[in-house]
Amino acid sequence: MRIGIDASNIGGGGGTTHLKEILVNYKHEYFKHDSVVIFASSKVLEVIPNDPLFIKVTFPQLNGSLINRIIFQKTKYDKEIKKRCDILYSVAGDYTGSFKPVVSMSRNMLLYDRGIWKEMKAPKEILRFYLNYLKQKKCFENSSGIIFISNYAKKIVSKTLNLKNKDIVTINHGVSPRFINEVKRNKDVASYTSLNPFRFLYISGVHVYKHQWQVVKAIAILKEQGYNVRLDLIGGVYFKSSLDKLIAAINIADPKGVFIKYHGQVSYDSIHTYYEDTNAIVFASTCENMPNILIESMASGLPIACSDHQPMPEFLKDGGFYFNSYNVNSIVGAMKELMENNKQQIKFSEKNISEIEQFSWDKTSFETFKFIDKIYASYFSKN
């Protein structure tokens, strides 16, 4: 059995991390595949582990312009897949060719959240999401099996698309061991000073649904109320108007740059060091599939103030201080409750570290390839 992995549209970020981890943790002793062929750009293939079983395949069109890639995918890609593969796994859930059988994965909930589209007020970006939604719709219709990474996503997507005859499974992503730490034991909130403030950390790309500016406003209110606090924001820019909104909020709240700092993009390989140098996490996103940053935060042993939008409660459960991301006073209340309740901080953090044991890349890899094997056997038994 020859497995193909379509990663032709993955450029980096979480998609690359997922692909790398399921291959790094591949179970040679359990699976007896003839080959695993990875179709991707040269940049993505560089992070794939070297293994006699893994065959790395790229084409000039996968390393050039978007137009050339699309033309190649529409005209020549299927022929290349058929030469090398017996089943295809679309890790981006956007393969639209005629090859079968296909297993696809759901990763991006922005394709289904029309409320976020309205908040964006950006016609070109909305059109891009809609076109990607159509690609995923076609991919899922042609797939024999679909992998979801949260039960929330499975519920929402199943309501939107007709998946009645599909074999569906939920397989969570894992978390790297380097994020796992001991429970953070913070001092009494009154012990913090302007020179040694209570530090909140918010890691996430800047976008309309991440609500960084709301968190900035909340920190400013806490400062006005006499709390010695600091906010560090980390994340690249997905949406420029959101960055403009964030910078404007920072300039109003902290014009001298004393207690709020936006660090921009930070390498994923070093991001765990920021967890080690903070007191608590704040996570205000309102649109996620499986929030990897929240899972990493749970592993860090830090107390968490978190958005109450699903799927955050699916993973954090009763291990955090929840708030409504659209309401600044709600954010203030959750952050204040966190700082003033050391016993609850420890209780929640201990629970989160216990919960994190179920999220391993080892498990993700095993369940993924086991599901692909199942779909392969089922498909050819029917055809």
Report whether 140 contacts 166 (CB < 8 A). Answer: yes
How many Cβ atoms are within 10 Å of 270's Cβ, its own excluded?
9
Q: How far apart are CA 383 and CA 278, in angstroms?
A: 56
Domain check: are 134 and 187 in the same one? no
Report the SS3 class of residue 232: strand
Give me the pLDDT at residue 73, please: 93
Asked whether residue 11 carries a pLDDT value surpassing 90, the answer given is no
Domain check: are 18 and 87 in the same one? yes
DSSP characters over 16-58: HHHHHHHHHT--TTT---SEEEEE--HHHHTTSPP-TTEEEE-
Give me the pLDDT at residue 120, please: 84
Mean pLDDT of 136-156: 95
Alpha helices, H only, 85-176: 114-120, 123-142, 151-160
Structurally, how many domains does the chain consist of?
2
Domain check: are 146 and 220 in the same one? no
> pLDDT digits over 286-321, tens only?
999 999 999 999 999 999 999 999 999 999 999 999
Domain check: are 146 and 13 in the same one? yes
Q: Which residue has the tokens 């935060």?
A: 297
> pLDDT digits over 105-124, tens only?
999 999 999 889 888 888 88
Domain check: are 372 and 334 in the same one? no
Domain check: are 135 and 266 in the same one? no
Give me the pLDDT at residue 162, please: 87
Give me the pLDDT at residue 340, please: 95
Report the percentage of the chain scoring pLDDT > 90: 83
Strands (E), the chain: 2-6, 35-39, 54-57, 87-90, 102-106, 145-148, 167-170, 198-203, 229-234, 260-262, 280-283, 304-307, 321-323
Angle between helices 361-382 and 14-24 (to 10 degrees): 80
Average pLDDT along the chain: 93
Domain check: are 374 and 256 in the same one? no
Give me the pLDDT at residue 233, please: 96
pLDDT band at 238 (very low <50, low <70, confident <90, very high): confident
Give me the pLDDT at residue 5, please: 97
Domain check: are 188 and 230 in the same one? yes
Q: How far apart are CA 138 and CA 16, in angstroms?
A: 23
Domain check: are 329 and 298 in the same one? yes
Least confident of 220-229, 235-244, 342-351: 235-244
Report the percentage of the chain scoring pLDDT > 70: 99
Report the SS3 class of residue 151: helix
Give me the pLDDT at residue 266, please: 87
Domain check: are 271 and 308 in the same one? yes
For residue 376, give the CATH number of its domain.
3.40.50.2000
Domain that holds residue 220: 177-358
> pLDDT digits over 38-96, tens only?
999 999 999 999 999 999 999 999 998 989 999 999 999 999 999 999 999 999 999 99
pLDDT band at 104 (very low <50, low <70, confident <90, very high): very high
Give me the pLDDT at residue 191, please: 94
Give me the pLDDT at residue 320, please: 96
pLDDT band at 37 (very low <50, low <70, confident <90, very high): very high
Asked whether residue 174 carries a pLDDT value surpassing 90, the answer given is yes
**Quick one: which of 339, 353, 350 has its CA closest to 186?**
339
Domain check: are 183 and 290 in the same one? yes
Domain check: are 162 and 311 in the same one? no
Give me the pLDDT at residue 62, please: 92
Report whether 94 contacts 73 (CB < 8 A). Answer: no
Specify the higher pLDDT residue, 244 or 239: 244
